Amino acid sequence: MHMNPRRLLRGLALVSALALGATACGGSDDGDAAQKAVSAKDIDAALEKGGNLTVWAWEPTLKQVVADFEKEHPAVHVKLVNAGTGNDQYKALQNAISAKKGVPDVAQIEYYALGQYALTKGLDDLNPYGADKLADKYSPGPLNAVKAGTDKIYALPMDSGPMALFYNKKVFDKYKIKVPTTWDEYLTAARDLHKADPKAYIANDTGDAGETTSLLWQAGSRPYKVDGTTVKIDFSDAGAKKYTEVWQKLIDEKLLAPITGWSDDWYKGLGDGTIATLATGAWMPANFASGVKAASGDWRAAPLPAWTAGDKASAENGGSSLALPALGKNKELAYAFVEYANAGKGVQTRLAAGAFPATTADLQSSAFQNTEFPYFGGQKANKVFADSAANVAADWSYLPYQVYANSIFNDSVGKAYVSGTKLTAGLQSWQDASVKYGNEQGFTVQK
Amino acid sequence: MSTPVSTVSQPAPAPAGTATPAPRLRASRRRSPGRPRRSMLLTALTGLVLLYSLVPLVWLVISATKTQEGLASSFGLWFNGDFALWDNIKETFTYNDGVFSRWLLNTVLYVVAGAGGATLLAVLGGYALAKFTFPGKRAVFAVVIGAVAVPGTALAVPTFLMFSKMGLTDTPWAVIIPSLISPFGLYLMWVFATEAVPGELLEAARIDGAGEVRTFFQVVLPLLAPGIVTVSLFTMVATWNNYFLPLIMLKDPDWYPLTLGLNSWNAQAATAGGQPVFHLVITGSLITILPLIAAFLLLQKYWQSGLAAGSVKE
C-alpha cells in the first residue's frame, strides 16, 4: 500500500518524526498508571453533555457512521478529518504527539502500525473504558493485533483482512490451468500461465513489506518476538524457508509482473488479465468493484494456497482499528464513538457500504455468508473469507516500529526483485537494519 | 526550491559549445552574429529537449479526456474513443462536495499572500543591500548566500515544531509565513538592483529633494520592474507547487492547497474500500498547471530580460 514517488519525502519526515518520537517515549512518565476506570454511566453522561470530537481517519465508510452518530447524540459534534492515508497520517500523528499539540481524539491506525504507538505509550488502554467486555466479539487475528502482545486493548478493530486468493477465472479457464491449492501448485500454475501467454503473470510483485510479512505469517514463520521493549528478529526459521524457496523461484524465473501494487498500472493489469491472481485481504472485493470494473464477472475468490497440502493456516493482510491517542481530549466521548463505530450500530452501516467485518457474529451470520457477489459472478465469496478468518494463527506480532521497518523494506528485500541479491540475503539485511534501528531507538533487540 | 532554476536554464545554448567540435566553433565565429550557422546536431538536440519537456504535457492533456475505465484500457499517448474532458472537468469541480474549488482558492490565497509578500520583501531588501552601505553588510551577504543553499525541505520539521508551539499549525498562516522568505529572490533582486539602478540617478533624485520613500517608489521601482516580475514568477511557481511544507503543517483538508488535495485523491486508490479516481487526479493536475503556463506566457517578455540582467557588463 505504498506509493514510490513520495518515499524520499516520507523517509525524511519519518526519520525526524521517529527521532522525536523516541524523546517523547523517554520523557513521558507512566501515563497509563493514572488511567481510571470509566463506567458506562460516565460515558452516557458525557454523551448527554456533548462536545466536540476530532477523528482522523481515511476509511470512506466512516462518513455515514459519523452522520448517524451525530443524529443519535445531537449534543456531540464529530469532525472527521482525512489527515492522509496510512504513512502520511502516521507521520502527522507522530509529529502532533511530539509537539503535544493538535493530537486527534480518535485515530485510525492499521494493525501493523499499532504497536509503534501502543508500546511508546501514545495510546490509551481501552480496558478501563469497558473494552474488555467486547474482546470476545472479535475474530482472533484482529483481537490479537489490538492487544499488541500485552493484556491490554489499545484499539477496537474496525475491519479485518483474512487472506484469500483472488484469481481471474477467465484467464485460468482460457489456458486450462487448475486453481492452485498449495504454493507448489501455484508455482507450477505461474510457469504454465507465463508459457501460454508471455504477457500474463500469475501475480504482480515488486517487493511489498505487508504482503511478505503476511505470507511469512501464513507459512508459520514468526520473525518478530516482542516482550515490552525487548525484541527479537529472526528471518531464518522453517516457515521463512518455505516462503523464500517458492518466492525465489517465482523471482528467478521472472514469473512476477514488475508492477507495483495500487498504481494505475496495477488496476489496469487486474482488469486486462496481465495479473492473474492476487493473494490479499478480504477487504479487496470493494476495491475490485470500484476500481476494476472492466473485469467484472471474471474474478473469483479461493482459499489461500497452503504451504503444506491440507494445512488450513491463514493470515491477515491489512485492516485497521480506531484508537484513542493518549494526548487526545474528551476521552469518554471518543470511546463512545469508537464503540459505536466498531462494536455498535456503526458496524452494520459499514458492512452495508462494503467493508469487511472484524466481528465474529457478523462473519458467521448466514446473511453475511450467503451474500452473492455480482462482481464474482454470483459467488458467495464471504464463505471463503470467513473460513480464512477462523484459521488465522493468532500468535503473530509486528515490530513496535513496523512503520519504519516497512519503509526500508525496498532498500533491502526490494533488491532481490531487481538484482542478483537472493531473497534470504535481502531478508537478512532487512533484519540487520531493523535490529540496528531498534537498538538506536532504545529497544533491546536481539537477532 | 531549485526546480524553477533548472527549468529555465535548460534552453540555454551552453551545451552547444561542448557538443560541437572546436574547428567548427571557430568557423562559426567568423560569421556575422545576425545569421548564425545552422547546425543539424544542435537542432536535433534542441528537438530532443523539446520532446522531453512536451511529452508529459501531451500525455496529461490526452489522459484528461479519458474516463477512469478508459485510462486503464487504452494506450497512454493517444486518445480513447470516449471524449470525456468536459465531464471530467465538471466532475473534478463537483466531486466530494466541490472541495476542488476550495483547494484552488486556498492555493490562490497562498500564492497571493505568500509569493506576493516574498516578492515585496525581496525587492525592498535587495534594493537596500545593493544601494546602501551599512555595517554588517558582508555578514548579511554570507547569511543570504548560505540560506540559498539550504533546501526548504530540511527546515520543514523544525518549522513545524516552532509553529506548533505558537499554535499556528493547521491554519493558513503556517503556509503563508514560511513562504514569505525567499533568499534566492532576495539575492536575485540584489544583483539586479546593483546593475539596473545607477547610483547617479539616486543622487540626482536626492539633490532634487526627493525623500528615500519617494525615490524608491517613483525612481527605483520602475527600473526594477523586470526583476520584480522575475522574482514574483519564481516565488509564485515555488508556492504554487509547494507540497512538503503544507503536508507537514496542515491536517484539515479544508485548508489544503491543490498539491495536497490532488495527492489525497490519488491516495484514495490505495486504501481498502477506496474509490480510484485517477481521471479526476489527472484532470485536476491539468487545471492546476494552466495558471502557471498562462503566467509564463504572459510575462515572458519581462522574464527574459530579467534573467539576462547582470549577464553582460556594459
Tell me the mean pLDDT in the region A301-324: 94
Best B153, B168, B251 member to test A by mutation, with max A CBs in 10 Å, is B251
> Are B267 and A88 within 8 A, CB to CB?
yes
For B267-277, b/e burial (b = at least 16 CB within 10 A) is: bbbbbbbbbbb
Residues A47 and A73: beta-carbon distance below 8 Å: yes
pLDDT at B90: 92
pLDDT at A12: 38
Which SS3 state, helix, strand or coil, does residue A109 take? strand
Interatomic CA distance for residues B199 and B205, integer angstroms: 10
Lookup: cell for A416: 532481490
CA–CA distances in Å: residue A242 to residues A220, A235, A256: 9, 11, 18
| Amino acid residing at B45 | L
Nearest CA to CA, how far is A85 from chain B (Å)? 6
CA angle, B214 then B217 then B221, to 5°:
145
CB < 8 Å to A290, chain B: 274-276
Average model confidence (pLDDT) for chain A?
A: 89
Bridging pattern class, strands A51-56 and A106-110: parallel
Interatomic CA distance for residues B183 and B80, integer angstroms: 46
Q: Is A267 on the interface with B (CB under 8 A)?
A: yes
pLDDT at A22: 38
CB < 8 Å to A86, chain B: 267, 270-271
- In this predicted structure, which of A35-44, A202-211, B4-13, B288-297 has the lowest mean pLDDT? B4-13
Interatomic CA distance for residues A29 and A19, integer angstroms: 18
Per-residue pLDDT band for B304 (boundaries 50, 70, 90) equals low
Q: Give the sign of the dihedral formed by CA A434, CA A436, CA A440, CA A446.
A: positive
CA–CA distances in Å: residue B298 to residues A373, B291, B303: 55, 10, 9
Nearest CA to CA, how far is B267 from chain A (Å)? 6
The beta-carbon neighbor of B72 closest among A17, A262, A268 is A268
- In chain A, % of residues over pLDDT 90: 73
Residues A53 and A104: beta-carbon distance below 8 Å: no
Tell me the mean pLDDT in the region A400-408: 93
Bridging pattern class, strands A299-303 and A163-168: antiparallel
> Are A84 and B272 within 8 A, CB to CB?
no
Q: Name the most confidently modeled range: A417-421, B121-125, B135-139, B224-228.
A: B121-125
CB proximity under 8 Å: A 66-125 to B = 81-86, 88, 92, 95-96, 98-99, 101-102
Write the DSSP string, A191-225: HHHHHH-TT-BSEE-S--HHHHHHHHHHTT---EE
Nearest CA to CA, how far is B185 from chain A (Å)? 25
Judging by beta carbons within 10 Å of its beta carbon (0-12, 13-18, 19+), is residue B63 exposed, middle or buried? buried
| Amino acid residing at B12 | A
Q: What is the pTM of this model?
A: 0.79
> Are A60 and B271 within 8 A, CB to CB?
yes
The beta-carbon neighbor of B278 closest among A84, A99, A264 is A264
CA–CA distances in Å: residue A137 to residues A134, A343, A344, A417: 6, 8, 11, 41
* Beta-sheet strands, E only, within A50-162: 51-56, 76-81, 106-110, 155-157
Given a cut of 90, is residue A18 above it in pLDDT? no
Q: Is A317 on the interface with B (CB under 8 A)?
A: no
CA–CA distances in Å: residue A40 to residues A32, A333, B257: 19, 11, 42
Best A56, A58, A106, A266 member to test B by mutation, with max B CBs in 10 Å, is A58
Distance of CA A429 to the CA centre of its chain: 23
DSSP class of residue A105?
S
pLDDT at B303: 64
Q: What is the pLDDT of residues A336-362, one digit of tens each?
A: 999 999 999 999 999 988 899 999 999
Nearest CA to CA, how far is B183 from chain A (Å)? 22
> Are A294 and B276 within 8 A, CB to CB?
no
- In this predicted structure, which of A303-312, B18-27, B132-141, B233-242 has the lowest mean pLDDT? B18-27
The beta-carbon neighbor of B157 closest among A16, A283, A286 is A16
CB < 8 Å to B72, chain A: 264, 267-268, 271-272, 292, 294
Q: Name the most confidently modeled range: A292-296, A299-303, B91-95, B208-212.
A: A299-303
Which SS3 state, helix, strand or coil, does residue A181 take? coil
555578514: which residue's cell?
A: B139
pLDDT at B75: 79
Question: How many residues are recorded in chain B?
Answer: 314
- Neighbouring C-alpha atoms within 13 Å toward the C-beta of A298: 22
Interatomic CA distance for residues B71 and A267, integer angstroms: 10
CB proximity under 8 Å: A 140-179 to B = 159, 161
Which residues are CB-neighbours of B271 under 8 A, at least 6 positions away? Answer: A1, A58, A59, A60, A85, A86
DSSP class of residue A353?
T
Given a cut of 70, is residue B305 above it in pLDDT? no
Per-residue pLDDT band for B32 (boundaries 50, 70, 90) equals low
- In this predicted structure, which of A312-321, B29-38, B235-244 has the lowest mean pLDDT? B29-38
Which residues are CB-neighbours of A173 under 8 A, at least 6 positions away? Answer: none
> Are A9 and B153 within 8 A, CB to CB?
yes
Q: Name the most confidently modeled range: A223-232, A334-343, B264-273.
A: A334-343
Which residues are CB-neighbours of B312 under 8 A, at least 6 positions away? Answer: none
Q: Which residue of A has its CA nearest to B264?
A: A84
> Are B169 and A286 within 8 A, CB to CB?
no
Tell me the mean pLDDT in the region B41-63: 93
> Are B157 and A85 within 8 A, CB to CB?
no
> Are A60 and B153 within 8 A, CB to CB?
no
pLDDT at B309: 54
Residues B132 and B191: beta-carbon distance below 8 Å: no
pLDDT at B133: 87
Lookup: cell for A336: 463512545
Distance of CA B117 to the CA centre of its chain: 15
Partner residues linked to A155 by β-bridges: A323
Interatomic CA distance for residues B108 and A136, integer angstroms: 52
- In this predicted structure, which of A6-20, A23-37, A244-258, B91-105 has the lowest mean pLDDT? A6-20
Tell me the mean pLDDT in the region B91-115: 93
Residue B18 lies in a domain: no
Interatomic CA distance for residues A65 and A55, integer angstroms: 12
Which CATH number is associated with domain A4-160+318-364?
3.40.190.10
Tell me the mean pLDDT in the region B212-227: 88
Q: Is B153 on the interface with A (CB under 8 A)?
A: yes
Enumerate the domain spans of chain A. Answer: 4-160+318-364, 163-315+396-446
pLDDT at B18: 43
Q: Which CATH number is B125's domain given?
A: 1.10.3720.10
| Amino acid residing at B227 | G
Which residues are CB-neighbours of A7 under 8 A, at least 6 positions away? Answer: A407, A410
At A303, which helix (H) or strand (E)? strand A299-303
Residues A320 and A109: beta-carbon distance below 8 Å: yes
Q: Greater confidence, A28 or B213?
A: B213
Fold entry, domain A163-315+396-446: D-Maltodextrin-Binding Protein; domain 2 (3.40.190)
Which SS3 state, helix, strand or coil, does residue A392 take? strand
Given a cut of 60, is residue A10 above it in pLDDT? no
Given a cut of 60, is residue A123 above it in pLDDT? yes
CB count in 10 Å sphere of residue B5: 11
Tell me the mean pLDDT in the region A87-112: 90
Residues spanned by the domain of B220: 101-314
CB proximity under 8 Å: B 216-245 to A = 243-244
Q: Give the sign of the dihedral formed by CA A226, CA A127, CA A391, CA A287.
A: negative
Judging by beta carbons within 10 Å of its beta carbon (0-12, 13-18, 19+), is residue A421 exposed, middle or buried? middle
Per-residue pLDDT band for B306 (boundaries 50, 70, 90) equals low
Lookup: cell for A150: 500485552
Q: Is A55 on the interface with B (CB under 8 A)?
A: no
Which SS3 state, helix, strand or coil, does residue A6 take? helix
Q: Which residue of B has its CA nearest to A86?
A: B271
- ipTM, two decimals, is 0.72
Interatomic CA distance for residues B177 and A62, integer angstroms: 34
How many domains is chain B partitioned into structurally? 1
At B110, which helix (H) or strand (E)? helix B85-110
The beta-carbon neighbor of B272 closest among A20, A159, A261 is A159
Rg for chain B (alpha carbons), in Å? Answer: 24
Q: Is B267 on the interface with A (CB under 8 A)?
A: yes
Q: Which residue of B has its CA nearest to A350?
A: B273
